[in-house]
Structure 1
Amino acid sequence: MVHLTVDLIAKSRNHIKKKRGLSFTDYLRNLTHLYFSSKNIDAIGDLSACRNLTVLYLYDNHITFIHNLGFASNLTHLYMQNNNIAHIDNLHNLRRLSKLYLGGNRISVVEGLERLRQLQELHLENQRLPPEEKLLFDPTTLLSLAESLCVLTIDNNNIDDIRDLAVLKELQHFSATGNKLHNIEELEEMFSHWPRLRLMDLSGNPVCKKPKYRDRLITECKTLEILDGKEINGLTRQFLVQWKASKQARKAKKNKDMPSEPLIPYSLTDSFYVGQGPPPAGHMQPH
């Protein structure tokens, strides 16, 4: 078992070179970046001496639980992708955290981020979930991120519905490739909730095979600059918007020209009889 502790930092060649005559206590106090990716670490020990830590790299390890980070009130970037984390816990003291990388773990519910009011980027791609289980979002967590989150990555998580994400009104970059999104009308509706969206990638979803998929999304979202990795040409959008407006105008004119109620032919037999045979019984013949 390998625990990340100050003793492990002391043994690191990288940090020995940077110490430069400082006492180890002063060195830890001044430390802002800590690089311990791909070190077979399975737990985070006591790092409270690193009180000025702002960036922590712990990706590609074997960490199961997020803990012992309550001291890191100055932390802005946390990289913990490709570990064995199943629950998002113990992050409530990281009030300055702006970027959180948790892709490639075993997280089934996105929760526990209610106090991270400055979080701008959240990366949750490729969770290792049981077959057919999809990544879920706690509504309270989403609501707490509504004013800050600009980037959300949820690729390859069996997601078939993103309507819960409508509250993220500051979203600018959204990536949900390789999921199970299929309803294009729901996507079009989301754009009214995401007025700042500039980049979206839905490659590998069933919805991408819908007729006029790209044209419809480009027309509906005026702020979108890149869709599925391809830049949106301004002239293309202008043409599509004009084409849609023309189509709607023709449809409106057609509806206007059509009578609101079907015309009912006036029955001539109500006032006089027309025909070759004898009149019906009781019917008066004209003089």
Structure 2
Amino acid sequence: MVRLTVHLIAKSSSFSKFKHIKIPFNILGDLSMCRNLTVLYLYDNQISQICNLGFTSNLTHLYMQNNNISCIENLSSLHKLSKLFLGGNSITVVEGLDELKSLKELHVEGQKLPRGEKLVFDPRSISSLSETLCILNISKNNIDEIWDLAPLRKLTHLYATDNQLQDIQELETVFSQWSQLRLLDLNRNPACYKSKYRDRLITACKILEDLDGKQINELSRQFLINWKASKDAKKKLQDGEDIKEQIPNQLTTDFRVGPQHPFAHDRSSSLSKPSEYRKHGVISRADQVQGDSRGRRDIYSSEDRQTLKICVLGLF
């Protein structure tokens, strides 16, 4: 049986016209003759390095899952690439995607990671993909947080099953920024087993249609959104009342303080020298209290009124 290689394919007169090629070999060969390639299948091989793709500038789909790739590299010339499949390799860092300005789908699920490690994301690549990436598959990668993915605001589909996500507050915060998210699969994450998990994510994702493989009924979504709005309004009202109760009435406090208060001095001395309160056009404390009290007598106790009466009479 003849083994199919790039060299053998190159002998074909129509080689340069091929748009779809599946090449089953261990080391990625020279594809300089494949200038018209749009789809390249290289999955289920033993490829350890991404290379020799510089001439495939028209490539839109690249399938390289289930190989031995440990580093995402040499993809900068693939400006038209829209779908990249790298699942089942040995990648530890999602990087090297800075120049892929047309990438809409990225599949990096099920990486063969060292024990105890998780798949991490290079901020530069995530930032570059923020305006184009719509579908992301990061399942089975021991991921325990997704803050680094927050810039991906164009995402419509996220597959993140079999990871270690458990902070629902974090999930709500990130997902609420993805206004176009329609499908979300978080099955078999610790967060899935927490109280109100489904309700909280449905209210956070305004147009989500499918959560963990279950369709979201629009009537149920609206009920949950209204319920959350009502709950937030009640909490806001309660918080406002609590703050109001904590603020003391300044006038009432003035009459109930100890010896530091001006009226706590010898009363007879104050009554015998009313002129001291009026010299140089200064308005006395009693005058001020008297004026303030005309429309607010209901806030004083009988003891407060008696004290006020004595002070005012003494000044006149």
TM-score (norm 1): 0.82
Q: Does 1:68 align with 2:52?
A: yes
| Cα deviation 1:39-71 (Å, max 9, x = unaligned) | 3x2111112111100001111111111111110
Using a 3 Å threshold, how does the CA distance of structure 1 residues 70 and 260 change in structure 2: closer, same or farther? Answer: same
Worse-matched range after superposition: 254-263 or 232-241: 254-263
Match in the other structure for 1:206: 190
The 3-state SS of whatever aligns with 1:167 is coil
Q: Does 1:167 align with 2:127?
A: no
Q: For 1:255 and 1:63, how far apart are their aligned partners in 2?
A: 61
Percentage identity across aligned positions?
57
Instruction: Give the partner amino acid of 1:6.
Output: V
Instruction: Give the partner amino acid of 1:84.
Output: N
Match in the other structure for 1:176: 160
Match in the other structure for 2:9: 9
Match in the other structure for 1:191: 175
Q: Does 1:28 align with 2:15?
A: yes
- Any residues of structure 2 matched to 1:88-127 within 5 Å, and which? 88-127=72-111
Alignment equivalent of 2:136, drawn from 121, 135, 152: 152
Match in the other structure for 1:251: 235
Asked if the contact 1:4/1:43 (under 8 Å) is kept, the reply is no
| RMSD over equivalenced CA pairs, Å | 2.3
Worse-matched range after superposition: 251-260 or 165-174: 251-260
Q: For 1:142 and 1:89, how far apart are their aligned partners in 2?
A: 15
- Any residues of structure 2 matched to 1:216-231 within 5 Å, and which? 216-231=200-215
Asked if the contact 1:3/1:42 (under 8 Å) is kept, the reply is no
Shift of 1:35: 2.1
The 3-state SS of whatever aligns with 1:193 is coil
Higher relative CO (Cα under 8 Å, sequence separation at least 6) belongs to: 1
Match in the other structure for 1:14: none
Instruction: Give the partner amino acid of 2:12.
Output: F
The 3-state SS of whatever aligns with 2:246 is coil
Instruction: Give the partner amino acid of 1:30.
Output: K
The 3-state SS of whatever aligns with 1:56 is strand
| Cα deviation 1:113-156 (Å, max 9, x = unaligned) | 11110000000000001111111111111111111111110001
Alignment equivalent of 2:34, drawn from 34, 46, 50: 50
Asked if the contact 1:155/1:177 (under 8 Å) is kept, the reply is yes
Match in the other structure for 1:279: none
The 3-state SS of whatever aligns with 1:34 is strand
User: Max radius of gyration: which structure?
Assistant: 2
Using a 3 Å threshold, how does the CA distance of structure 1 residues 125 and 4 change in structure 2: closer, same or farther? Answer: farther
Worse-matched range after superposition: 259-268 or 206-215: 259-268
Shift of 1:233: 0.6
The 3-state SS of whatever aligns with 2:150 is helix
The 3-state SS of whatever aligns with 2:187 is coil
Alignment equivalent of 1:140, drawn from 113, 121, 124: 124
The structure richer in helix per residue is 2
Q: For 1:58 and 1:269, how far apart are their aligned partners in 2?
A: 86
Instruction: Give the partner amino acid of 1:24.
Output: S
Q: For 2:85 and 2:39, how far apart are their aligned partners in 1?
A: 12
Match in the other structure for 2:66: 82
Q: For 1:255 and 1:222, how far apart are their aligned partners in 2?
A: 27
| Cα deviation 1:59-103 (Å, max 9, x = unaligned) | 111111111111000000000101111111111111100000000
TM-score (norm 2): 0.75
The 3-state SS of whatever aligns with 1:152 is strand
